[in-house]
Structure 1
């Protein structure tokens, strides 16, 4: 930041307004590591008013081109890496391009650390990254994402449809359960994976409401998915009865017999 000496003040070389704007530029550079200021960037002055830092930056370039920028001021601006040769009307787009690259680099770092690009919108460690990822999906859906950027994200393994990706992950878990147990009768309160139990329930609700797409319906049917909760309960109780018979060597279940997972097998067998 620029601080004037008493001698300089006494000689009348101090321009308080210019100094204030310059110091704001220094602060901007310290935070962003560049001087590509957007024309929408407002800063507060000592008198409480707001000034446009981006417009001030443009005026410095204009002053240089017209030969009226003081040599001392140019040196001060050079010291913070001021960019002199730039299309005034392209500052915002250049800034956005730089910001996009910064966020893409963050995405790469996330991928290297976690092995995937499934960043939640409310990513607590870096909320801006989660929102940026959401915006890229929105741009892609509306045809506003540059083709080169799309390809770079795609190669990185960017998840364009988080909901679809989540569904596939849960389906993989369900298939593993089916391979292990021979059925998909997962209770809602499935303790080993509560999320899977709720997901199974949600698939039934979607099918009942007519909002489960045909492809997913067929994939679930391939695992002998039980769509009716009543049918699922019946099948579960039958399996409990088979297990009781295997262990005890009889099918006569005591009236008050309850299974390890809380199923009232005795009551069910009696009714």
Structure 2
């Protein structure tokens, strides 16, 4: 009886959590209610031994048996919303924390695609919204932030136009006021100090960057 009472009490707390946060994914270390996070994890771990009645109760409130899948779905929905709000764009040049998080997630999907560790189902879902599997981003994913790649693309465009990567220090891109000359100088400085990421150096070398 005491066990049933305790279980029912924790179930009630979980229902309250869902109403408050509109989510069923309780962090394992949940400061506001540490016991709840551990309890939710235990229900997942004990899915087979747990009674059918309790499974049905948990299912009735949308209990998430696989938190990893749920988190992927949440990020996918955020990507759909972002695309709709930004005229179909899936690039993340801003330094807003939410955009950085989403941009990192997108990089991760491209990286997993490049090393063939993403499921066919997820590939199909991403492609259904026009997701682009850009191999350059995939190969160097998660070490290059969106802003750096944006500047790199400007350098590629400059080289195509001027046949050189030796950008004048004061050069600014005409269409977006980006300080490409200053950025190029910063890459050389980082390289000379041994601070430039290896993958970034590889990308620059791939366009015959002049150090």
TM-score, normalised by the number of residues in structure 2: 0.63
Q: Offset of 1:185 from its aligned partner? A: 3.0
Q: CA RMSD in A?
A: 3.8
Matched, 1:214 2:120: yes
Q: Offset of 1:198 from its aligned partner? A: 1.0
Give the Cα–Cα distance (whole angstroms) in 1 for the partners of residues 182 and 78 of structure 2. 28
Give 1:28's aligned residue.
Answer: none
Counting only pairs closer than 5 Å after superposition, residues 121-200 of structure 1 correspond to structure 2 as 121-140=28-47, 143-179=48-84, 180-186=86-92, 193-200=99-106
Rg bigger for which structure? 1
Give 1:110's aligned residue.
Answer: 17
Gaps of 5+ in 1: 1-93, 242-250
CA contact (8 A) 1:190 1:197 kept: no
Structure scoring higher RCO (CA < 8 A, sep ≥ 6) equals 2
CA contact (8 A) 1:170 1:196 kept: yes
CA contact (8 A) 1:174 1:184 kept: yes
Gaps of 5+ in 2: 139-145, 185-203
Q: Offset of 1:117 from its aligned partner? A: 2.1
Judged with a 3 Å threshold, the aligned counterparts in structure 2 of structure 1 residues 257 and 129 are, in CA distance, closer, same or farther, namely same
Judged with a 3 Å threshold, the aligned counterparts in structure 2 of structure 1 residues 230 and 156 are, in CA distance, closer, same or farther, namely closer
Give 2:199's aligned residue.
Answer: none
Give 1:7's aligned residue.
Answer: none
Where 1:136 maps in the other structure, the secondary structure is: helix
